């Protein structure tokens, strides 16, 4: 769940977002056997400072993830271009093979 406060870590809503997030953890536990999950659940009351730190870390992780996705995108683009070249070469080889076979008949 993305917090709406990432762009403004000093927002007054930070603490309520955290408490909402804590209640979501309970809601989203495994319904097949909820006891095993909820019995060990201890709600964490986060202060404004720890919430801001959490948001800064999350933002840092997202920036790093974005750069990894960009690298992966470049790699896949490069791979696609190479595959297109291979397809063209195979097409040319098929044409040559067809002409050789046609000349034999």
Task: Give domain status of residue 9, yes or no.
Answer: no
What's the residue count for the chain?
105
In a domain, 48, yes or no: yes
Residues 17-71 have pLDDT tens digits of 444 444 444 444 445 554 555 556 666 666 777 888 999 999 999 999 999 999 9
What's residue 26's pLDDT?
A: 46
pLDDT at 84 over 50: yes
What is the domain range of residue 23?
Answer: 14-104
pLDDT band, residue 88 (cuts 50/70/90): very high
Give alpha helix (H) positions in 28-47.
Answer: 34-38
d(CA 1, CA 46): 17
Residue 24 is predicted with a pLDDT of: 44
Q: How many domains does the chain have?
A: 1
* Residue-level pLDDT at 40: 61
Q: Is residue 51 part of a domain?
A: yes
In a domain, 6, yes or no: no
């Amino acid at each position: 769940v993305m917090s709406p406060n990432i762009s403004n870590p000093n927002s007054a809503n930070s603490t309520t977002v955290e408490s909402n997030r804590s209640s979501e953890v309970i809601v989203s536990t495994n319904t097949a056997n909820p006891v095993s999950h909820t019995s060990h659940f201890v709600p964490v009351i986060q202060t404004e400072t720890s919430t801001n730190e959490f948001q800064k870390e999350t933002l840092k992780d997202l920036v790093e993830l974005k750069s990894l996705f960009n690298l992966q995108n470049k790699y896949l683009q490069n791979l696609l271009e190479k595959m297109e070249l291979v397809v063209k070469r195979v097409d040319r080889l098929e044409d040559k093979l067809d002409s050789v076979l046609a000349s034999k008949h």
